[in-house]
């Protein structure tokens, strides 16, 4: 582990030199590439340097115990040594986590797609609840949310809503939301007070940059149509809505949120690029099934991952067996307790996997 840490520190110093090189400074692509690489390893280097400093203090304290000291001084040194040993253990644990290979998508913005599934109008209402939950969570993180396309129902829910969340590290926290979410509650339309079970599906896609995936104009069919509202009635007489079809993969994206056809096409392209990128990623990583299993909740999107039980104010994440009696708080956007537990579980699984290699 320490050989790897030393090589990371050496690379950090080399990047410092490169970022001061006039040739690199005048090359925007290399400057961006090296700056990101340095930023990615900075925390690891800082913790490693702190670790080495604490180890030196530990050695000095041990050396002092070899000297002739009065009883009070010896007790003080022993106490300091005990504190330093605890600090070394904490820093070693942090370094192990920092050396876990990082998901290259973690720093990216995300495109989220929520669809009402089983349960009709109640499922669509629940899809709306999930959208508001993620929007509030994003707001608490200081991220920006932008709706790309929405297919509403007459009762105030969503058959489907696609939106983008812009914020550093958005994917690292929201990637665990992939899957089927189940709600158990008494619908407002239920006169008998019976509890119904409905589901909504959530897909989380990392935003793909143009440099990461190239989509040629000849591979896209563009169709335009008039925007429609609930029930299918036309709400716009101009052909501002856009449907893009990526012919090689059959991926279809529609956008009618904006009044401008140009803006709708720009938004639809972001979703199309993310979906095609995700498709290629899924195919490329299919052979690494074992690796994918170690990542909590980033696999099969048909998997039921979480249940929201209203009568008992309870949320259960089935992947890690976590149950929290704070449904009202979680739906208001306070997702940190759940997300932190999922991140910890993923880190533990990866650490265990690395120790078995």
Give the confidence band of 190 by pLDDT, cuts at 50, 70, 90. Answer: low
Strand order in the sheet with 220-225: 220-225, 241-246, 251-255
- Yes or no: say if 179 and 305 are a contact pair by the CB < 8 Å rule: yes
CATH number at residue 54: 1.20.58
Question: Is residue 55, in this structure, part of any structural domain at all?
Answer: yes
Residue 4 to residue 122: CA distance in whole angstroms: 53
Give the confidence band of 140 by pLDDT, cuts at 50, 70, 90. Answer: very high
pTM of the model: 0.67
Q: Are residues 195 and 137 in the same domain?
A: yes
**Beta strand ranges found along 31-169 (DSSP E):** 110-116, 144-152, 158-166
**Domain final residue, candidates 259, 283, 307:** 283
- Yes or no: say if 188 and 128 are a contact pair by the CB < 8 Å rule: no
Residue 336 to residue 314: CA distance in whole angstroms: 16
Q: Tell me, what's the pLDDT at 156?
A: 77
pLDDT, mean of residues 64-83: 85
Q: Are residues 93 and 180 in the same domain?
A: no
Q: Tell me, what's the pLDDT at 290?
A: 44
pLDDT digits (tens, 9 = 90+) for 80-112: 889 999 999 889 888 888 887 777 788 889 999
Q: Are residues 180 and 311 in the same domain?
A: yes
pLDDT over 60 (residue 298): no
Q: Tell me, what's the pLDDT at 234?
A: 46
Q: Are residues 80 and 201 in the same domain?
A: no
Domain that holds residue 275: 217-283
pLDDT, mean of residues 16-25: 90
Cα dihedral 287/288/290/293 (nearest 10): -110
Q: Tell me, what's the pLDDT at 229?
A: 54
- Least confident span in 5-9, 187-191, 309-313: 187-191
Q: Are residues 207 and 244 in the same domain?
A: no
Q: Mean pLDDT over all residues of the chain?
A: 83
Q: Are residues 66 and 196 in the same domain?
A: no
CATH number at residue 196: 3.30.70.1660
Q: Are residues 121 and 196 in the same domain?
A: yes
Q: Are residues 59 and 131 in the same domain?
A: no
Q: Are residues 9 and 57 in the same domain?
A: yes
Q: Are residues 142 and 202 in the same domain?
A: yes
Q: Which of 122-136, 141-155, 202-216 has the highest mean pLDDT?
A: 122-136
The sign of the CA dihedral 117, 123, 124, 128 is negative
Q: Tell me, what's the pLDDT at 284?
A: 57
The CB density around residue 11, as the number of other CB atoms within 10 Å, is 14
Question: Is residue 105, in this structure, part of any structural domain at all?
Answer: no
Residue 149 to residue 320: CA distance in whole angstroms: 32
Q: Tell me, what's the pLDDT at 302?
A: 56
pLDDT, mean of residues 123-151: 92
Greater pLDDT, 317 or 238: 317
pLDDT digits (tens, 9 = 90+) for 310-323: 999 999 999 999 99
Q: Are residues 200 and 342 in the same domain?
A: yes
Percent of the chain past pLDDT 90, that is, above it, reads: 29
Q: Tell me, what's the pLDDT at 189?
A: 63
Q: Are residues 66 and 199 in the same domain?
A: no
**Domain final residue, candidates 98, 128, 146:** 98
Domain count, the chain: 3
Give the confidence band of 231 by pLDDT, cuts at 50, 70, 90. Answer: very low
Q: Tell me, what's the pLDDT at 192?
A: 66
pLDDT digits (tens, 9 = 90+) for 322-351: 999 999 999 999 999 999 999 888 888 777
Greater pLDDT, 45 or 266: 45
Q: Which of 21-30, 213-222, 235-244, 312-321 has the highest mean pLDDT?
A: 312-321
- Token pair listed for 187: 């619908």
Greater pLDDT, 275 or 226: 275
Q: Tell me, what's the pLDDT at 49?
A: 93
pLDDT, mean of residues 125-136: 94
Residue 244 to residue 232: CA distance in whole angstroms: 20
Residue 51 to residue 57: CA distance in whole angstroms: 10
Question: Is residue 246, in this structure, part of any structural domain at all?
Answer: yes
Greater pLDDT, 293 or 190: 190
Q: Which residue has the tokens 């104010």?
A: 313
Q: Tell me, what's the pLDDT at 257?
A: 72
Percent of the chain past pLDDT 70, that is, above it, reads: 86
The helix (H) or strand (E) run that includes residue 322 is strand 322-324
């Amino acid at each position: 582990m320490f050989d790897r840490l030393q090589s990371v520190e050496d690379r950090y110093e080399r990047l410092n030199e490169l970022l001061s090189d006039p040739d690199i400074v005048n090359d925007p692509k290399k400057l961006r590439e090296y700056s990101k690489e340095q930023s990615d390893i900075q925390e690891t280097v800082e913790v490693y340097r702190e670790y080495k400093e604490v180890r030196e203090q530990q050695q000095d304290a041990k050396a002092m115990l070899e000297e002739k000291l009065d009883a009070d001084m010896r007790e003080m040194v022993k106490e300091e040594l005990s504190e330093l040993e605890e600090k070394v253990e904490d820093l070693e644990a942090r370094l192990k986590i920092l050396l876990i290979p990082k998901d290259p998508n973690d720093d990216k913005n995300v495109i989220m797609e929520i669809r009402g599934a089983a349960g009709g109008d109640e499922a669509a209402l629940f899809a709306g609840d999930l959208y508001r939950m993620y929007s509030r969570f994003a707001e608490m993180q200081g991220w920006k949310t932008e709706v790309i396309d929405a297919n509403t129902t007459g009762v105030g829910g969503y058959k489907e809503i696609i939106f983008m969340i812009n914020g550093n590290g958005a994917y690292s926290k929201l990637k665990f939301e992939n899957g089927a979410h189940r709600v158990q509650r008494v619908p407002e339309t239920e006169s008998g007070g019976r509890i119904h079970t409905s589901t909504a599906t959530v897909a989380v896609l990392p935003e793909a940059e143009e440099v990461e995936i190239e989509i040629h104009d000849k591979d896209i069919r563009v169709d335009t149509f008039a925007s429609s509202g609930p029930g299918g009635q036309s709400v716009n007489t101009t052909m501002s809505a856009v449907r893009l079809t990526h012919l090689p993969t059959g991926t279809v994206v529609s956008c009618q949120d904006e009044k401008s056809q140009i803006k709708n096409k720009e938004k639809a392209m972001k979703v199309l690029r993310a979906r095609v990128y995700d498709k290629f990623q899924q195919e490329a990583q299919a052979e690494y099934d074992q690796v994918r299993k170690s990542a909590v909740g980033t696999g099969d999107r048909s998997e039921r991952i979480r249940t929201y039980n209203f009568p008992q104010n309870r949320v259960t994440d089935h992947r890690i067996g976590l149950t929290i009696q704070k449904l009202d708080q979680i739906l208001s956007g306070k997702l940190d307790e759940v997300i932190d537990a999922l991140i910890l579980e993923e880190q533990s699984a990866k650490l265990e996997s690395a120790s078995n290699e």
